[in-house]
Amino acid sequence: DSGVTQTPKHLITATGQRVTLRCSPRSGDLSVYWYQQSLDQGLQFLIQYYNGEERAKGNILERFSAQQFPDLHSELNLSSLELGDSALYFCASSSSSGNTIYFGEGSWLTVV
């Protein structure tokens, strides 16, 4: 157990809908990262937050947004969903020194 928890584990939704994925980082970790894993694109970095503020942005679509709350948990919001958004979404966290990144078990999103 890495200590990073993600909910829900599985989610099936229809095209055009909006979903929210939630992540609780390891206790004490200030940084949260979101990654998307799909068959065609592999593992792609989406976005990083550090202590509530956006730190780095990757290949995140405009239809997607994220935030990190004062209690350090994070949410990834995916809207106007398309079939191609079906993927495994990982959250990861690291401490302020950032020397090791720990991944959660992921949220499986299926868009039908």
Partner 1 sequence: AQRVTQPEKLLSVFKGAPVELKCNYSYSGSPELFWYVQYSRQRLQLLLRHISRESIKGFTADLNKGETSFHLKKPFAQEEDSAMYYCALTGTSYGKLTFGQGTILTVHP
Residue 58 within binding range of partner 1, rule CB under 8 A? yes
CA pair distance 103, 112, nearest whole angstrom: 27
63, 49 Cβ separation under 8 angstroms: no
Options 22, 55, 67, 73; binder of partner 1; rule CB under 8 A: 55
34: helix, strand or coil: strand
Burial class (CB in 10 A: 0-12, 13-18, 19+), 92: buried
Task: Please identify, among the stretches 9-17, 19-27, 67-75, 84-92, the one whose residues bind partner 1 according to the rule CB under 8 A.
Answer: 84-92
90 binds partner 1 (CB under 8 A): yes
Q: Is residue 45 within the footprint of partner 1 (CB under 8 A)?
A: yes
What residue ranges bind partner 1 (CB under 8 A)?
2, 4, 31, 33, 35, 42-45, 48, 55-56, 58, 88, 90, 92, 94, 98-106
